[in-house]
Structure 1
């Protein structure tokens, strides 16, 4: 039976792979980035999400260092996303998923960095 760390890591990894692809290909996401005032950054954010999701998933099985760096990067990305949503006056409920992913990946980063040191 997989451990809770495995489940949480794979959940985050697959979430970011899905949202990274969506960010790069979805017209709805393109409109969201326009609303955020970040149209030019959409492809960068999508690529960072894909790289972070891949790094987290692969790193979990192959390199705790890669997993730790990926989780830390995803945490920063999501904290920035949370603050962008607050800046454009989205509700706390609409902003909550970004904060949840930021905290989840911060937790993973701390666990992986602890295993690394």
Structure 2
């Protein structure tokens, strides 16, 4: 694993991990964006919070020496954020949360690309 890959993956772990914990805790600033996108509040813990948190832990495992787990987590997170972007587009929600979903997709997509390039 190269230095750039480790830095990008570490940023992804922190960002996605924070986002997952925020969803699990029903962090007030994200609730309105979820409502605009038509996401039920009941989905905040499972699947949204749990999947983001598990993905962040998987990326961390990849950084700590389990590269296949890290790759699987990156693939899962890319799929998750593709679905998040799609959900915002369907709801015609172009708020800050839509921009964040695109940013997260770019971050985990870059992590995955760097991971695959290192093989």
TM-score by length of 1: 0.82
Contact 1:52/1:71 (8 A) holds in 2: yes
Runs of 4+ in 1 over 6 A off after TM superposition: none
SS at structure 1 position matched to 2:64: helix
Partner of 2:5: 5
How many Å separate the matches in 2 of 1:55 and 1:108?
Answer: 12
The structure with the greater share of residues assigned to helix is: 1
Partner of 1:27: 28
Q: Tell me how many residue pairs correspond in the alignment.
A: 115
How many Å separate the matches in 2 of 1:28 and 1:97?
Answer: 13
> Deviation digits for residues 5-24 of structure 1, max 9, x if unmatched?
11100000111110111011
Mind listing any 5+ residue stretches in structure 2 that lack a counterpart?
none
Inter-CA distance 96–88: structure 2 relative to 1 (3 Å threshold): same
TM-score by length of 2: 0.81
